[in-house]
Chains A and B, each alone.
Chain A
Amino acid sequence: MRAAVVTGVGAACGLVWNAASGRGFDLGRSVFVQSGDELVTAAEARARLDAGALFLDARPRDFWRMSRIPGAVALPEDEFESAFAEVEPLLRRTSNVVVYCSGFGCEASHVVARKLRERGFPAVILDEGLPAWEDAGYPVDQESRS
């Protein structure tokens, strides 16, 4: 009984602290989502792919080589500055850009989308990334690329 009291009081303190301390955050959405981030579902992303959107893979390049959304171009967060130069000509040809990474535990797509926005290229983020795409049954390219 006392163990339950410790757990309950601790949890209540945490919720109050989150709501009132000024250090808290919105519990109803991913902490990676910041002001200006626009998320799309896998179905919306699929519709964009069919409409010719440019897909950018924000994961490390080795992951992109192993599997990617069809036609996706690598723009890894960890080598953004160098990779951006390669991708910039493609960005100038479209305003329909989708960034993704490896799921809700991955912040790279949010970081890359923000950096693109700062450079004047708005991009939406695929919510929950490649796993959500695969879970929806959409195709993935797996052949080797250099």
Chain B
Amino acid sequence: MSLPGQLRSARLQLLLRLLLGLVFVYASLDKIADPPGFARAVYLWQVLGPVPANVVAVTLPWIELLAGLLLLAGVWRRDAALVVAALLVVFIAAATLVLARGIDVEDCGCTSVALAAGTDAEGPWPQAWTRGVGWFLITRNVVLLAAALVVSFVEVRGRTDAPSPA
């Protein structure tokens, strides 16, 4: 089977959809539980001023949660994947900017705000995953972006639903 053919596989699409859904739902929960803690994490990136960073800190986790739940449920899956892809593009651009400016962000706040809030709590994931803005984070987000683009733009074999027109 050719690569485009494999990408159209219903099983692969299901796997990618569930992976993205789980990652984004998980990533949203801690941020939703502690909005000021996540705002601290956003400040560390020094990409936005305090007030825009505050707005991002309270709205972004809910967009992640909603898109993640839709992906898990398989409802509006291609549109939800498009939202996730757009978020990942923004995350990659912001991380690249942080690296280019030489800003040392020890805790990206990606999935947990505990470290940004000043505690050393260990989460269930390796610290390299949750901490630090660097090439690991960018690479991870590029992989997730590829998955989101596949779910959003590659038609599942036997299905014809497309993202709704903008």
Contacts and interface: CB of A to CB of B under 8 A. Distances in A.
Contacts of A28: 51, 54
Contacts of A10: 59, 62-67
Contacts of A18: 35, 58
B66 A9 contact: yes
Interface in B66-96: 66-67, 70, 76, 79-80, 82-83, 86
Interface in A37-94: none
A2 B59 CA distance: 17
A30 B58 contact: no
Interface stretch (A19-27, A118-126, A137-145): A19-27
A6 B45 contact: no
Most chain B CB within a 10 A radius of its CB, from A14, A25, A103 = A14
A36 interface: no
B163 interface: yes
Contacts of B166: 1, 3-4
Interface stretch (B2-10, B36-44, B132-140): B36-44
Looking at chain A, what size class is its interface with the partner chain? 20 to 34
Contact of B76 (A6, A13, A24): A6
Contact of B86 (A3, A9, A31): A3
B164 A7 contact: no
Contacts, number: 93
B124 interface: no
A24 B63 contact: no
B165 interface: yes
A30 B62 CA distance: 21
Contacts of B33: 23
Contacts of B76: 2, 6
B49 interface: yes
A31 B66 contact: no
B114 to A, nearest CB: 15
B58 A15 contact: yes
B79 A3 contact: yes
Interface of A: 1-4, 6-7, 9-11, 13-15, 17-18, 23-25, 27-32, 103-105, 107
